[in-house]
Structure 1
């Protein structure tokens, strides 16, 4: 489909609904300001079509276009006063698409240079340990992972988490107790590497 010819079509084929506008975000002078919903309906398809041709991925094109319109909605009092609001939306969408395309090229180059590394399946005790870790609060859980699994010193854990070493030691002690209680069954030996540390 010609991208220009799609400019007046209402978004279809999985296109997103226009972002909701708050009541306080009205356009005021309807004779001068463009209506956001009408702009979205009239131009979403054409912008998406252009980005689809550039990115080669329809879903990504729709996501980028949606993000551009969301940014327009956030600044609608300003954007709606422009002579050509859709030009602003299109410029933002293209900037976003260009950034996405550059990231995709870097990722593709990385994949070409580095073969995928297949990690082995975790042992049953590791599976049990990871399940028990999910029961811990997020911050103590992070401290346990950094110290016991990533082999970071307590001072390094404290620095990366921006807390005192005493706080880290307290978290680790409480985590060892909690994990020991959860995994004290012989069928769940996964806490041994933490309890014996």
Structure 2
């Protein structure tokens, strides 16, 4: 017996299904979205969806990996590892803005997870690890006298990333602000406000 060719709706490969699922998760919330909702939005059967992803949880895991993998890559980039610590911190902030802009729906989803499942808890743990590494960079910059030390490093990190993460609420790729300019503006507001006099 020859193997049957699985057919889905034309144009719906794994990446496209993921992109649509992330939009629906962001609109309705992950918990409130069923596989039936996703299949309806895509105009495919649930079986066609399961051809590409084993479960709704796998869709979430792949989506969150896209956001987290991008952020973790920023910390591993050469300009975040070598050089003066203030330059490394600036590289991380600039890189985080670029990841957020490039992966806007995926980072939006990451920022909305609450830890209601194993997949979400693992993502939150990775986010905490990212924050801790950035906080360590802030502490090092404070120790070197590159930025002011009268603000707790953890608080400074949260405030700066609160600003960066707010981009998911207002930044639109079709708008007038380009990613590079937004990154420059974030660095100016964040680091000029922290610099020693």
Question: What TM-score range do you get, normalising by the shorter chain?
Answer: under 0.3
TM-score normalised to structure 1 length:
0.25
Higher relative contact order (CA 8 A, sep 6+): 2
TM-score normalised by structure 2 residue count: 0.25
Computing the radius of gyration from Cα coordinates, the structure with the larger value is 1
